[in-house]
Amino acid sequence: MSRLSEMIKELCPDGVEYKKLGEIAHYVKDRIKISDIDTRNYVGVEHLRQNTEGREMSVTLPEVDFVISFRQEDILIGNIRPYLKKAWLADCNGGTNGDVLTIRIVDKMYVSPQYLFYILSSEQFFMYDMKYAKGAKMPRGDKKAVMNYAIPVPPLAIQNEIVKMLDNFTELTAELTAELQLRKKQYSFYRDSLLNFSRDDVDDTASSIAETPHYMVGDIFHIQNGYTPSKKEDTYWENGTIPWYRLEDIRTQGRILYDAIQHIHSSGVKGNLYPTKSLLMSTTATIGEYALLMTPSLSNQQMTNFAIKKEFEDVLDVKFAFYYFHVFAEWCKKNANQSGGMPIITTGKLKIFSFPIPPLETQAKIVSILDRFDALCHDLTQGLPAEIAARKKQYEYYRDKLLTFPRKGA
């Protein structure tokens, strides 16, 4: 940062001018015929990824005649639920919808598009956007307030130097993310191969697979449905010590859970707690999210617990069962009842799934291989996910530091 410090000292020793966004850019109102674009360059709010992580490809086009036009180097910001932090620097010309703010710079010799994108993808901007957002359930950013957001505008040479430095961070993160995606593909391949105990289409070279005994889930596991105690009970939330799991726990904390985000008091407990080293899977709405529980606990009614019965404890490794739950979960998704509007897999149907139990030596080998891949691909404390998270924190720190300037005349 020494070069940048020298540039600031030389080019703006008295501080930096701040301009309202509306003084350096404007909202795009131009329209384009839907027939003039395709799925490659249509970017609706639903195609912008959270946390400023770019865009996804559209599969269909909206059934309208015209959409808002955008050009390469315009900045697109999701205007619904600003806390999702959706922002994208357009790399092509195309069309978008009214839930996206399309921002175009007036003079690119005064403000660099890449520099302004970094400003508008910062934590400070989204906090400001949420501050003025309107609506409780589905907050929308206030367009007028957004245009009043104060932008530091140092000389273009300084903007370009900052962009260069921040690009280095984002390029490194992109390389790590690409490597992670490759590792996940490898993991999926080996997982699917190692967990293939199907009795169908078995040839002579796979006699060991054909001989693997299979049991129904209902024979192997005690199955217990989750529930939610009455929220009218004060003790439900107050001073709770028992982990109470929801889908958010699996999505935010990973698939091996030591504690929950929320806890309940023992007075709200009905029946037995889920035992340590049991398995949890969502069986209503979002079906098939699963985790291994490492502490006695409970869950809400969207989740079902599977605890290995005593007579199978000596022949089934819970970690092998955990990995095979990937196959079980995919089966549950395909066999869920969709007729009621909300997908659900009933306990009766869960019980009939055929679950293999190979020799313990085979289970141990499979667990050893998949543990290494799983740590590399999913462990938030080590491996690539941890390195990516560390790089993102480093990037956010330097981005905020680099984009903070003393105000001229202050």
pLDDT tens digits, residue range 328-371?
Answer: 999 999 998 877 667 899 999 999 999 999 999 999 999 998 88
Same domain, 114 and 224: no
**Residue 266 structure tokens:** 């023992």
Residue numbers of the domain that contains 315: 213-357
Q: What is the DSSP letter of 297?
A: B
What would the pLDDT profile of 113-131 be if each residue is shown by its tens digit? 999 999 999 989 999 999 9
**How would you class 102 by CB atoms within 10 Å of its CB: exposed for 0-12, middle for 13-18, buried for 19 or more?**
buried
Task: Decide which of 132, 153, 174 is a domain's last residue.
Answer: 153
Of all residues in the chain, what percent carry a pLDDT higher than 90? Answer: 56
Tell me, yes or no, whether 41 and 119 share the same domain.
Answer: yes
Q: Are residues 146 and 217 in the same domain?
A: no
Cα separation of the two ends of the chain:
24
Is residue 193 situated within a structural domain?
A: no
Helix 2-11 crosses helix 156-194 at what angle (to 10 degrees)?
A: 150
Query: Looking at the predicted structure, is the pLDDT value of residue 381 above 60?
Result: no
> Could you read off the pLDDT of 220-248 as tens digits, one per residue?
999 999 988 766 555 566 778 899 999 88
Residue 133 sits in the same domain as residue 228: no
Confidence of residue 393 (pLDDT cuts 50, 70, 90): confident
C-alpha distances in Å from residue 223, one per residue of 157, 266, 305, 319, 354 = 65, 21, 6, 18, 15
**Does 125 reside within a domain?**
yes
User: What's the CATH number where 263 sits?
Assistant: 3.90.220.20
In a domain, 251, yes or no: yes
Residues in the chain: 410
Nearest to 94 by CA among 85, 82, 102: 102
Q: How many degrees, rounded to 5, is the angle at CA 98 between CA 95 and CA 101?
A: 80
**Which of 153, 182, 205 is the last residue before a domain boundary?**
153
- 247 with 338, same domain? yes
Residue 198 has pLDDT above 80, yes or no: no
Q: Are residues 237 and 339 in the same domain?
A: yes
Q: Do 86 and 96 form a contact (C-beta atoms < 8 A)? A: no
Token representation of residue 251: 């999505």
- The pLDDT score that the predictor gives to residue 179 is 76
Domain shared by 143 and 231, yes or no = no
- Domain assignment present for residue 66? The answer is yes
Asked, for residue 202, whether it belongs to a domain, the answer is: no
The DSSP annotation for 66-107 comes to EEEEE-TT-EEEE-BSGGG--EEE-SS-EEE-TTEEEEEES-
For the cut 90, the answer to whether the pLDDT of residue 138 exceeds it is no
How far apart CA 111 and CA 178 sit, in angstroms, is 31
Q: What is the DSSP letter of 207?
A: H
pTM here is: 0.58
Residues 217 and 351 in one domain: yes
Q: Compute and round to an integer the Cα radius of gyration of the chain.
A: 27
Q: Does 312 reside within a domain?
A: yes
Identity of residue 285: A
* Closest to 118 in 3D by CA, of 392, 393, 402: 402
Examine the domain organization and report whether 223 and 346 are in the same domain: yes
Task: Pull the structure tokens for residue 97.
Answer: 């919808």
What pLDDT is attached to residue 322?
95
Domain end position, chosen among 340, 357, 374: 357
Maximum CA extent, the chain? 83
Residue 165 lies in a domain: no
**What would the mean pLDDT of 41-66 be, rounded to a whole number?**
91
242 and 118 fall within a common domain: no
- The mean per-residue pLDDT over the stretch 164-191 comes to 79
H or E element at residue 147 = helix 143-147
Same domain, 222 and 129: no
Q: In terms of C-beta density within 10 A (0-12 exposed, 13-18 middle, 19 or more buried), how is residue 27 classed?
A: middle
DSSP annotation of 285 reads: S
Same-domain pairing of 144 and 244 = no
User: What's the structural domain count of the chain?
Assistant: 2
Highest mean pLDDT among 97-106, 165-174, 204-213: 97-106
* 396 within some domain: no
